[in-house]
Amino acid sequence: MQAQAGDQIVIRGHRIGEPDRDCEVIEVHGANGGPPYVVRWGDDGHESLFFPGPDATVKHLHPAAS
Amino acid sequence: MQARAAIRRSGVAIGPERSVGEAARIMERAGVGALAVVDGGALVGIVTDRDLVTRVIAQRRPDDARVDSVMSMPVITIEAEADIHDAFALFRTHGNRRLPVVEGRRFIGMLSVDDLLINVIGELVDLVRPVTAEAIFGHRDSPAPATC
């Protein structure tokens, strides 16, 4: 997985009826955009270190570098 | 199968200086029941929803108590390259339900009993499928060797 600051990570729900969750990448701590990432959860602004598993996908919200 | 490959969920970590209130809110937002406690990149503990109940709420600790005052430690871990059967043994021996996966002291993800059960059931299904097909459709004999 590769991400940049500003990207959104979506974690799919694990059970029927469980909603997907999302967080925003604040910092990238791995090499070449790799994990772990410092992420911000929702509107309350709590930050944590995130280690993406197979349940997580990145949405690149910034324009691609030319 | 290596422990690394058995991880099914993303791992979430928090610093030891953060508050138990923040830990609870991050658990709720991230949909996880345990956070790795990481200091300077190294795993130093684990804080679970049970820790918050038994060591914070039940003991009337304040919401701003530090995570490292209630976390579980020392942590039983498994190396990322270890065989998954080593995880079975660790769960059996220590009776915990979550096992941090590490590379050295660096946390990379959380393995749960649920993850292992799902993997075992998947392997059982793989075994049962050809047997079931054989019971329904009969034996599928391989062709006899050609003779000249």
Residue B42 · residue B105 · CB < 8 Å: yes
Instruction: Count other Cβ atoms within 10 Å, centred on residue B29.
Output: 20
**Phi, then psi, of B89 in degrees rounded to 5:** -65, -40
Residue B122: predicted pLDDT: 80
Euclidean distance between CA atoms A58 and A62, whole angstroms = 12
Instruction: Determine, for residues B8 and A53 on separate chains, whether the beta-carbon distance falls below 8 Å.
Output: yes
Mean pLDDT of each 10-residue bin along chain B, 148 residues long = 89 96 93 93 94 95 96 91 90 87 93 84 82 79 75
Residue A29: predicted pLDDT: 93
* B115 CA to centre of own chain: 6
CATH number of the domain residue A22 falls in? 2.30.30.440
Mean pLDDT of each 10-residue bin along chain A, 66 residues long = 91 81 92 93 85 91 60
Among A9, A18, A46, the residue to mutate for chain B (most B Cβ within 10 A)? A46
Give domain limits for chain B.
3-137
Query: What are the tokens at B136?
Result: 């329904």
Q: How far apart are the first and last CA of chain B?
A: 45
Residue B148: predicted pLDDT: 65
Q: What is the pTM of this model?
A: 0.82
Residue A14 within any structural domain of the chain:
yes
Residue A2 within any structural domain of the chain:
no
Q: Which CATH number fits domain B3-137: 3.90.245.10, 3.10.580.10, 3.30.460.80, 3.30.930.10?
A: 3.10.580.10
Residue A2 · residue A34 · CB < 8 Å: yes
